[in-house]
Amino acid sequence: MKRRRNVEAFSLSFLDCICCGFGAIILLLVLSKIYEPVILEKTEDDLQQLIAKLQEELFDIRGETTLVTRALSAVRLETSETKMTLSQLQKELEKVQGQYELTQEDNPNLAVDEGELRAARQRLTEEMQRLQVYDRAPNDAIGGIPVDSEYVIFVIDTSGSMQSKWSWVEQKLGEVLDVYPRVKGLQIMNDNGRFMFQQYGSSWIDDTPQVRQAIKNNFRQWAPFSDSDPSDGIIYAIKTFWSPDRKISIYVLGDEFQGNSMEAVIRSIDGINLEDKDGNRRVRIHAVGFPYSFDGGSIPTSSQRFAGLMRVICERNGGTFVALTERDH
């Protein structure tokens, strides 16, 4: 029998195979390392392009944001102007509605055709031309009260004591209005500054027959709160309505003064109703004093204070104080 040759595990052939395998792996690693910088360089270029693109989009977005902000500012400005215009239109509407309500106070059944209106307008024009040649003297007076004013304000005590003789007050108000056949503007307010026609606020009411009738109609149920202190209404009327181009008279109708200091009231009015170089005040102030009651008893201190205060104020401000003593006056 032939003896078998022992096979060695780490023979030369086996080592050759192992070395070839390792050499192939090293070759692959070398080849892959050669192309790696190219891949990294390409990736970096792609990132730079992406960043540039994103920056460009960011600039575009910022530009669009600026445009939108400008457009929004323009819209806000336009909205603000629109609100102001709307507010002015609302005020004009309220004024027109107030004028319409006043005209409705007149007889609703009154109907005048166009021919009659033209005839009336012609007569009015002729009358105006006739009156233009006549100028009222500055010291013209009726019953001792100067009536040279073009604008008239009534400051009326609307307290409970005055409400008890309200029909008499209405009568005297009508008599004062009759003294002025036509003025350029009227206002009715109570001694606390509350207007009879709130829609007119601090503006003048045109003097028309319809307005005068509306004043009389509204006066009968007009009773806002009053603290029987005419100084508040007088001061507010002067501050609100005085103008150097207007001749204004204030008529105070009341029966009490419940304020603290008469001297303080006189000083306050003197500080507002200033004198010009000729000694004339900005506004004439007249007053009509009503008796507190008709029971024949003693006169309350508040009524005595009202009479004393208004006598001094009227004297210092170019007006006249009229004290009523009996119901039929």
Q: Please, which residues have CB within 8 angstroms of residue 229's CB and are 6 or more apart in sequence?
A: 191, 192, 257, 258, 259
- Same-domain check for residues 230 and 153: yes
In terms of domains, do 152 and 297 share one? yes
Same domain membership, residue 167 and residue 93: no
Same domain membership, residue 304 and residue 168: yes
Tell me how far apart the alpha carbons of residues 87 and 85 are, in angstroms, rounded to a whole number.
5
> Is 119 within a domain?
no
Looking at the fold, whether 150 and 299 belong to one and the same domain comes out as: yes
129 assigned to some structural domain: no
| Chosen domain end from 104, 123, 153 | 104
Q: Strand, coil or helix: what is 195?
A: strand
Alpha helices in the chain (DSSP H): 12-104, 114-131, 160-163, 166-179, 209-219, 230-241, 262-272, 301-316
CA distances from 151 to 130, 138, 176, 187 (A): 22, 15, 13, 8
CA 32 vs. chain centroid, Å, equals 85
Q: Is residue 28 part of a domain?
A: yes
Q: Same domain for 153 and 291? A: yes
Domain-embedded: residue 272: yes
Residues 99 and 147 in one domain: no
What does the pLDDT profile of the chain (329 residues) look like in tens digits?
Answer: 555 555 555 565 777 777 887 777 887 777 665 555 555 566 777 788 888 888 888 888 888 888 888 888 888 888 878 887 887 787 777 777 766 666 655 444 444 455 554 554 454 455 444 434 334 444 444 445 667 789 999 999 999 999 999 999 999 999 999 888 889 999 999 999 999 998 887 899 999 999 999 999 999 999 999 999 999 999 999 999 999 999 999 999 999 999 888 999 999 999 999 998 888 999 999 999 998 875 556 778 889 999 999 999 999 999 999 998 765 54
Q: Look at residue 100 in the predicted model and tell me its pLDDT.
A: 67
174 and 70 inside one domain: no
Residue 113 domain flag: no
What is the reported pTM? 0.59
- Give residue 159's identity as a one-letter amino acid code: S
Residue 248's pLDDT is what? 95
> Closest by alpha carbon to 189, among 202, 172, 178, 176?
202
Per-residue confidence (pLDDT) for residue 112, from 0 to 100 = 44
Residue 231 backbone dihedrals phi, psi, to 5 degrees: -65, -35
Q: To 5 degrees, how large is the angle CA 58–CA 60–CA 62?
A: 70
- Same-domain check for residues 73 and 166: no
* Judgement on whether residues 28 and 177 belong to the same structural domain of the protein: no
Cβ pair 217, 101 in contact under 8 A: no
292 and 182 within one domain: yes
Name the 3-class secondary structure at 234.
Answer: helix
CB of 162 closer than 8 Å to CB of 169: yes
**Cβ-proximal residues to 280 (8 Å cutoff; 6+ apart), any chain:** 318
Domain count, the chain: 2
How far apart are alpha carbons 56 and 62 in whole angstroms?
Answer: 10
* Domain of residue 71, residue span: 21-104
In 3-state terms, what secondary structure has residue 198?
Answer: helix
pLDDT of residue 214: 93
Among 104, 128, 157, where does a domain finish?
A: 104
CATH number (domain holding residue 155):
3.40.50.410
Q: Is 173 within the bounds of a domain?
A: yes
Residue 114 lies in a domain: no
Report the SS3 class of residue 299: coil
Same domain, 149 and 293: yes
Q: How many CB atoms lie within 10 A of CB 200?
A: 19
Provide φ and ψ at 287, rounded to 5°: -150, 145
Structural domain contains residue 118: no
